[in-house]
Amino acid sequence: MTAERSNHDRTTAEPSGSTHVTGDRSIVAFCCRECAYAAADASANARTSLPPSVRLVLVPCTGRVSPLHLVTALAEGADGVMVAGCLLGQCHYREGNFNAVDRVAFVQRLLESVGVEPERCRMFTMSAGEPPKFVAAVKEMDRVIGALPPLQRHDTSMSEDAGDAAEPAKAAVRTRAATPAKAAAATRGAA
Amino acid sequence: MPLTNRGHEILGRLPTARPRTSSGIGCEIVRHEELCVGCGTCAKNCPSGASRRGDTFDVWQLLDAPAGSRRGALGAALRRIARREPAGPIEVPPRVTVYRTIVYDAELCLGCGTCARNCPADAIEALAPKLSMTGDATPTLPTTGGGAATSSATPNAAAPTLAGAASGEVTP
């Protein structure tokens, strides 16, 4: 794993057609061990350059990737997440990538519902013998993310003291009916 | 479903045993949606399919989820990047089974109270079946046709004889 990682980290070539500096964004790619990671490995061995924004995460199967992984990656600093798995119907574990397709679709709807561009989370499928397809997918993702406005993140302390309207983005999402629910629970617990 | 005599006898010999379903039927189920975290325990335990996972998901259930849970972690992460409040429930793809809002179908509900006993968020209450106090004070067993004494009282008086078991405890 270290060899191709270091190869990818050395690549500094600018992807063609990109007008942004690629160093200021990061894309997390969850790669299936059977297909996409093997394709990434082969592309590194062929000395193909990847956009430097991409970080590869090896997973045994894309069915392991949960919405929590994808959204947490976005919240912790990634500008885009991509899930790269096997061709549909060719999953090593039979149907892991079908699960991943639906989870990615779910995360896209989740992002859309809170006002974030759903293009920040995408699913790609490829076989192990298609390194160019992997490189094309990463470059496509890098191009799409580079065209989007930067993703703003609020403080981690999105807690009860949302009353201060100093930060409007933070106050935009407040807790829904927190106090009546807790009061109801307290009264019912006492009864 | 009510236990048979043999069932009660077996239950008496096993002090720690609990029947899979409740011994009483006809409780009034009150759901407090604002407390529901959508964990699906009620749907898993419901014997009749009255509580089940629906086709949509309310994003507020993530954003309001308590910390320390997987939903809470996902909701906290979503809060960090949120730009606006979610407008409404979203459609859920078929293979996503967990993140679904629970729907409750009162038509199918037996009133057994299993959901209320198992709910970890105390979001479901099972109220005792309403009994008529004007009729015969001594309830009869359901096997002997107990509907006659309380026929004028409530619509769910078909099985009110185990009213003491409404809280979900087993009364042999």
Dihedral sign computed on CA atoms, order B142, B144, B150, B151: positive
* Dist. CA B145–CA B23, nearest whole Å: 17
Beta-carbon contacts below 8 Å between A and B? 112
- Please state, as a whole number, how many other Cβ atoms lie within 10 Å of the Cβ of residue B96: 19
Mean pLDDT along residues A25-47: 94
Check: complex ipTM more than 0.90: no
Give the architecture-level CATH label for domain B27-156.
Answer: 2-Layer Sandwich (3.30)
Residue B135 CA: distances (Å) to CA of A20, A81, B143: 82, 67, 19
Nearest Cα residue in chain B from A109: B90
**Chain B residues 30-49 with CB within 8 Å of chain A:** 32, 34-35
Separation of CA A154 from chain center: 18
**What pLDDT digit, counting tens, does each position of A57-97 carry?**
999 999 999 999 999 999 999 999 999 999 999 999 999 99
In this prediction, residue B135 carries a pLDDT of 52
CATH superfamily ID and name for A22-147: Lumazine/riboflavin synthase (3.40.50.960)
- Kindly determine whether residue A158 and residue B73, on different chains, have CB atoms separated by under 8 Å: no
Give percent of chain B with pLDDT exceeding 90. Answer: 30
In the predicted model, what is the mean pLDDT of chain A? 79
Smallest CA–CA separation between A19 and chain B, in Å? 25
Instruction: Retrieve residue B51's tokens.
Output: 């509580």
> Between β-strands B56-57 and A54-59, what pairing exists: parallel, antiparallel or unpaired?
unpaired
Question: What does the domain layout of chain B look like in residue ranges?
Answer: 27-156
- Kindly determine whether residue A173 and residue B87, on different chains, have CB atoms separated by under 8 Å: no
In this prediction, residue A9 carries a pLDDT of 43
pLDDT at A6 over 90: no
Smallest CA–CA separation between B82 and chain A, in Å? 5
Interface contact B107, partner A, CB < 8 A: no
Nearest Cα residue in chain B from A67: B74
Which ranges in B28-148 belong to alpha helices (H)? 41-45, 60-63, 70-81, 114-118
**What pLDDT digit, counting tens, does each position of A101-140 carry?**
999 999 999 999 999 999 999 999 999 999 999 999 999 9
* Dist. CA B71–CA B77, nearest whole Å: 10
Smallest CA–CA separation between A109 and chain B, in Å? 7
Smallest CA–CA separation between A108 and chain B, in Å? 10
Interface contact B70, partner A, CB < 8 A: yes
In this prediction, residue B12 carries a pLDDT of 80
- Kindly determine whether residue B82 and residue A154, on different chains, have CB atoms separated by under 8 Å: yes
| Longest pairwise C-alpha distance within chain B | 63
The letter for the amino acid at B63 is L
Range in A88-102, A152-166, B125-139 the model is least confident about: A152-166
For residues B101 and B54, the answer to whether their CB atoms sit within 8 Å is yes
> Which of A106, A113, A151, A182 is the best residue to mutate to test the B interface, defined by the most B CB atoms within 10 Å of its own CB?
A113
